[in-house]
Amino acid sequence: MITEVESQNGVLRRTAGTTPRRTWRSRLIGRPLQTADAPHQTIGKAVGLAVFASDALSSTAYATQEILVILAAAIGMAAFGYLFPISIAIVVLLAIVTISYEQTIHAYPGGGGAYIVARDNLGELPAQIAGAALLTDYILTVAVSVSSGVAQLASAFPAISDYRALIAVGMVGLIMLINLRGVKESGTIFAIPTYFFVVMMFLTVGVGLVRALTGSLGTVVDPPHFEAPEVMGPVTLFLILHAFSSGTAALTGIEAISNGITAFREPRSRNAGITLIVMAVILSSLFLGISFLASQIQTIPSEAETVISQLARTAYDGRNFLYYAAIAATTVILIMAANTAFADFPRLSALQAGDGFLPRQMAYRGSRLVYSHGIEALAVIASILILVFNASVTALIPLYAIGVFLSFTLSQAGMARRWWKIGHLAPGQEVRERGSTLKADPRWAMKMIINGFGAVCTLIVMLVFAVTKFEGGAWLVLIIIPLLVVLFSRIHVHYRTVAQHLTLENYDTPLRITRHRVIVPISSVHRGALAALRYARSLSDDVTAVHVAIDPADGEKVQAKWQLWGDGTRLVILESPYRLLVEPLLDFIDQIDERRQPNEAITVVVPQFVPKHEIEKGLHMNTAEILRRALLHRPGIVITDVPYQID
């Protein structure tokens, strides 16, 4: 039913009353939502923390372990003396990045993070580099976080170790389905586990700190096997930087809120900014507490048992209820960390698609008002990555943080340039850019220094990471990101070329066609051919039926029948001595096309059988489909199918 008919200047506006049918997909992910429901799908600070902070919070489960992996392999048990100071340095960097992104949130309330900031202030190429880095990071976020969550589970239940990759892929599929249900609904589902993790981690760290202060904590009982290096290496600056860069995995996810501001309720910037600060405080507290306790109890970095597992069973004196609760909370938050990527990857890909650098389909909202194509693409790519690396966190981590810190650097460099541009505005002057409005700010110089210093720090970390992790797999990311940028560029060139061909600027071709020639290919004279002929004659008086005669006797039969049923329409029989079917017909159409006059159209009307059952298609020649593919790229020729249903 169509309602609300409005007429203005010859244009009718109608509202369709049809609703989507119930399908297996709608039963799985929920009933379709109207476009008008979009404002009601936004989220507040409490749910926003669950949606966008799970990635950052989950990094506390493996950041400390990644520092120890580097230090212990080089200097053995002496690693514990350097763990906490390195963690403090990482928290200082975290504070710098948080302040920078808090400024970005208020400057760009439309979201987009590093991509939009780089696009508006550094240019298109840096923007695409930032986009490629972030998309790569989100894919790796899913792979790393889910693999790490399954590793936590394997620490408590070693029997599942051989099935980690398959379990991880199953978890990715589950998160994908939840996210397809919509941002608000997925956020509500994930809120309880997120806060359960925060409570359990603060309880575990709190119990550990109290026992450490009272002298009853001790060290890890029955730790995993550890082979100390035979020759202890010197504590060099390179080693410290190597461990520092590994620990900066704790910063992953900081940019997520700036990318997803539009998911928050109004005032969006204020709610997103508060959520970012709360996330940074929780992350810093847990990371420092875990690192301090790990050095006190001398945890062993191992694939067999994680640092969190060793810390929990030491703090709780064994594998009791609280230990399993802590492991369960950690496992869930690590798997849920992928939800941050599922919230941001589709948004970023939609922005790039809107700018013409990714397929346009990525910008279309699905039935639940989420970017379904982006969610599904992320799940597929991440699952492939998990299977290739067998869900190994240590193998995936070297691929991880380069993209993160590259986007950090571009974002902060872009913000520094933005403040520089603001500093050159006259008082009261405003300049509208694509993603924001520039307004004079008396504190522009201080803000520029903060962002500029942050850009230098994250650039140094990125370079250290690239050098120290190069052989471990970072080289792959250094190749993938440029390849993605080239791919984005090719997609953009395609869309730009299409736009140039479709533009109406300087378009003066008259809309009216003065002559219309119609060609009807027929295999024989039957009801389907006559249905096509009737339609063709409704288009024009200039109709030519064409039959390709593979067998002379067959041509005679067609001619005889045509005299009875053709109603005087011209018939051309093309003799085909080599028994070719399509080629003679195309050659005939080419000859007609060569003599085509200006404002003359050629339409090929093709009779098409439609069998009752899909499987029966293989029993027919499907000439219509063959002709359509052959003529599709011929300019000025229209192909029309006239279906004839066979009941």
Same domain, 458 and 594: no
Rounded to whole angstroms, the Cα distance separating 119 from 131 reads 10
Same domain, 463 and 578: no
pLDDT at residue 203, as a whole number: 95
Same domain, 485 and 534: no
CATH number at residue 157: 1.20.1740.10
pLDDT at residue 464, as a whole number: 83
The DSSP code for 235 is -
pLDDT at residue 183, as a whole number: 67
pLDDT at residue 7, as a whole number: 55
* b/e burial code for range 595-604 (CB count within 10 A of at least 16 → b): eeeeebbbbb
pLDDT at residue 258, as a whole number: 83
Residue 544 backbone phi and psi in degrees, to 5 = -125, 120
Whether 262 contacts 110, CB under 8 Å: yes
Instruction: Answer yes or no: is 15 within a domain.
Output: no
Q: Looking at the DSSP assignment, which residues form a beta bridge with residue 640?
A: 605
Whether 589 contacts 604, CB under 8 Å: yes
Same domain, 196 and 290: yes
Same domain, 485 and 558: no
Measured N-to-C along each axis, helices 372-388 and 124-156 cross at an angle, to the nearest 10 degrees, of 60
Same domain, 139 and 73: yes
Same domain, 463 and 559: no
pLDDT at residue 621, as a whole number: 62
Rounded to whole angstroms, the Cα distance separating 7 from 14 reads 9
Same domain, 476 and 522: no
Instruction: Answer yes or no: is 530 within a domain.
Output: yes
Rounded to whole angstroms, the Cα distance separating 360 from 351 reads 10
Whether 86 contacts 240, CB under 8 Å: yes
pLDDT at residue 264, as a whole number: 86
CATH number at residue 544: 3.40.50.620
CA-to-CA separations, 497 to 357, 490, 492, 636, in angstroms, rounded? 13, 11, 9, 19
Instruction: Answer yes or no: is 323 within a domain.
Output: yes
Domain range for 568 is: 515-645
Distance of alpha carbon 354 from the chain centroid: 14
Give me the helices (H) in 214-255, please: 237-247
Same domain, 455 and 520: no
Same domain, 336 and 396: yes
Q: Profile the chain (647 residues) by mean pLDDT over runs of 10 residues.
A: 54 65 65 60 80 82 84 79 91 89 85 84 93 89 83 78 88 88 71 89 94 89 71 74 82 80 84 92 94 91 83 91 90 80 87 91 78 91 90 71 84 92 87 84 89 88 80 78 94 89 71 79 88 92 90 86 90 86 86 82 86 68 73 80 80
Instruction: Answer yes or no: is 413 within a domain.
Output: yes
Same domain, 352 and 477: yes
Instruction: Answer yes or no: is 167 within a domain.
Output: yes
pLDDT at residue 421, as a whole number: 92
User: What amino acid is encoded at 192 in this protein?
Assistant: I
